[in-house]
Chain A
């Protein structure tokens, strides 16, 4: 694999209290590629993706062993501020979670917390981000309406636009289509393929077809272990592990 490595998990163990949720996971996220994590519910894939932007810190009584690297930077080093990591590694969540503010404010928020005050710049950035997330046409005449009035699919694209405005380097998608209809799902998948030109993308999904459609690399998780990781094509056509094969062919999960 001659691609540039963007993020790296090295010997990662993760515990909720005494329960071990991840066991010695090693995985590379390649630059400008889509990396998918698949596996049955409770296998640890969501826990794993939340390590990449230090979101698991918000949960009490958790322990992380091993390292997560972002361009060779140990993101959990005491010298590194989680806030700075999150400015470089954005996240789109399972359920659309727009702020109870206007559509415009939802996008401009990320710019404002990063200290940008130039109004013209913010307006331009909001427009660009909404265009990139392919929702501009639907909202351009109602930027001052509450974001909560949008449909679920629109809200999720708004959340993607919100993430894009911050100009991160990596975007983590945590089951972004879990609560969406097939048409909205198709739009988001198209968008992900478009976004990988500029971003390194990690996506957790329940849906194996989705992983096959959008990703370049796939990791299969089972009970906290990364069973197999490789090029999506290989994982789906010639899995090396019997458990991967059983999951992909739908024998369990």
Chain B
């Protein structure tokens, strides 16, 4: 009897912890939706802002976030996969390589504002790209790199040794095996990591603060050297700057809701891909 009681108490404790997590998530979605839903409309998503941000929509902001995110992934994806392939397939097991691995993991722990300052010093100033889509994409790309590398490494390690051997035994070269067998097999796993990092990159504020984002630009960005508006920074700006705090606040919640949906949508896609990968090996 006594044993059963303590067991039930334990289960109840676990249940409470789970409930707290769900509650936190639920209340975030509820409060953001309750305050932001009223400003959502077709024109909010498709028009440019005017009257000091209080009227019109946020289309250029969404477009800006899209460009910066796309740029970051285009930069980080090939680099990250190449790095993971080297570490998993080619690098000898040595102390140096271990240090590299540890460094990559530490890179993931660097606060995002530090990436922002780094981007300012290197891309904006040193390379002279200015505050631009290019600088912001590169900065966010570096932020995404450790995530992409570690998910790619995991995916590569999950490829069974037996099919590598099969490929080599047929007279394929090592690179041919990696290109034709290992990478395609690991691709769904790599993509899952990529998509999760897209979600992260799209939502980051600090790295683009000094490297890409502007409070207001006239219309849409014209080239990779343009400043842009981006959702996370736009929310921050609406809440802290401008002359109409009350009107701006509702729009900020609207933007948050759009960002939330964007990231939820992206994560949903990642889960879909992972399921598909599992069914492939099931």
Chain A residues engaging chain B, CB cutoff 8 angstroms: 53, 55, 58, 60, 83-84, 86-87, 90-91, 93, 95, 97-101, 109-110, 112-114, 146, 148, 159, 162-163, 166
User: Known contacts A60-B93, A93-B165, A109-B180; is A100 also within 8 Å of B280 by CB?
Assistant: yes
Task: Pick from B141-149, B170-178, B208-216, B227-235 the stretch touching chain A.
Answer: B170-178
Chain B at the A interface: mostly helix, strand, loop or mixed? helix
CB <8 Å contact, B280 and A114: no
Contact of B171 among A55, A60, A86 (CB under 8 A): A86
CB <8 Å contact, B170 and A53: no
CB <8 Å contact, A99 and B176: no
CB <8 Å contact, A113 and B180: yes
CB <8 Å contact, B170 and A95: no
CB <8 Å contact, A90 and B280: no
CB <8 Å contact, B166 and A93: yes
Closest 9 interchain pairs by CB?
Answer: A87-B171, A97-B162, A110-B170, A113-B172, A91-B169, A86-B171, A97-B166, A97-B163, A113-B176
A120 to B93 CA separation, bound complex (whole angstroms): 45
A112 to B184 CA separation, bound complex (whole angstroms): 16
Beyond the given pairs A110-B171, A159-B166, 13 more chain A to chain B contacts, judged by CB atoms under 8 angstroms and listed by A's residue number, are: A58-B164, A83-B171, A86-B169, A86-B170, A90-B170, A93-B162, A93-B165, A98-B166, A99-B166, A113-B173, A114-B171, A162-B170, A166-B171
B168 at the interface (CB under 8 A from A): yes
B160 at the interface (CB under 8 A from A): yes
CB <8 Å contact, B170 and A55: no
CB <8 Å contact, A113 and B170: yes
How many cross-chain pairs have Cβ atoms below 8 Å apart between A and B? 72
A101 to B166 CA separation, bound complex (whole angstroms): 13
A159 to B166 CA separation, bound complex (whole angstroms): 9
Closest to A90 in B: B169
B181 at the interface (CB under 8 A from A): yes
Closest to B177 in A: A113
24 contacts between A and B (CB under 8 A): A55-B165, A60-B93, A83-B171, A83-B172, A86-B170, A90-B170, A91-B165, A93-B162, A93-B169, A95-B162, A97-B166, A98-B166, A99-B166, A99-B167, A99-B181, A99-B185, A100-B281, A109-B180, A110-B170, A110-B171, A113-B173, A148-B281, A163-B169, A166-B170
User: Known contacts A97-B162, A146-B280, A148-B280; is A53 also within 8 Å of B169 by CB?
Assistant: yes
CB <8 Å contact, A113 and B162: no
A110 to B168 CA separation, bound complex (whole angstroms): 10
CB <8 Å contact, A55 and B168: yes
A90 to B172 CA separation, bound complex (whole angstroms): 12
A97 to B169 CA separation, bound complex (whole angstroms): 12
A99 to B93 CA separation, bound complex (whole angstroms): 27
A148 to B185 CA separation, bound complex (whole angstroms): 13
CB <8 Å contact, B171 and A99: no
CB <8 Å contact, B280 and A97: no
A97 to B185 CA separation, bound complex (whole angstroms): 13
Closest to A106 in B: B166
CB <8 Å contact, A100 and B162: no
Contact of A83 among B164, B166, B173, B185 (CB under 8 A): B173
User: Known contacts A60-B93, A109-B180, A148-B280; is A99 also within 8 Å of B163 by CB?
Assistant: yes
CB <8 Å contact, B168 and A86: yes
User: Known contacts A146-B280, A148-B280; is A109 also within 8 Å of B162 by CB?
Assistant: no
A113 to B164 CA separation, bound complex (whole angstroms): 14
Smallest CB separation, B229 vs chain A (Å): 43
Closest to A91 in B: B169
Smallest CB separation, B168 vs chain A (Å): 6
**Chain B positions within 8 Å of A83 at CB level:** 171-173
A146 to B280 CA separation, bound complex (whole angstroms): 9
Closest to A96 in B: B162
Closest to A89 in B: B169
CB <8 Å contact, A163 and B163: no
Smallest CB separation, A190 vs chain B (Å): 23
A122 to B185 CA separation, bound complex (whole angstroms): 23
Closest to B164 in A: A58
CB <8 Å contact, A109 and B170: yes
Closest to B160 in A: A97
A84 to B172 CA separation, bound complex (whole angstroms): 9
A110 to B177 CA separation, bound complex (whole angstroms): 11
A114 to B176 CA separation, bound complex (whole angstroms): 10
A83 to B160 CA separation, bound complex (whole angstroms): 20
CB <8 Å contact, B165 and A97: yes
Closest to B282 in A: A148
**Chain A positions within 8 Å of B180 at CB level:** 109, 112-113
- Interface 1/0 per residue, B169-208 and A, CB below 8 Å: 1111100100011001100000000000000000000000
Contact of B185 among A93, A100, A159 (CB under 8 A): A100
Closest to B166 in A: A97
Closest to B174 in A: A83
Residues 123-174 of B contacting A (Cβ, < 8 Å): 160, 162-173
Contact of A163 among B170, B176, B281 (CB under 8 A): B170
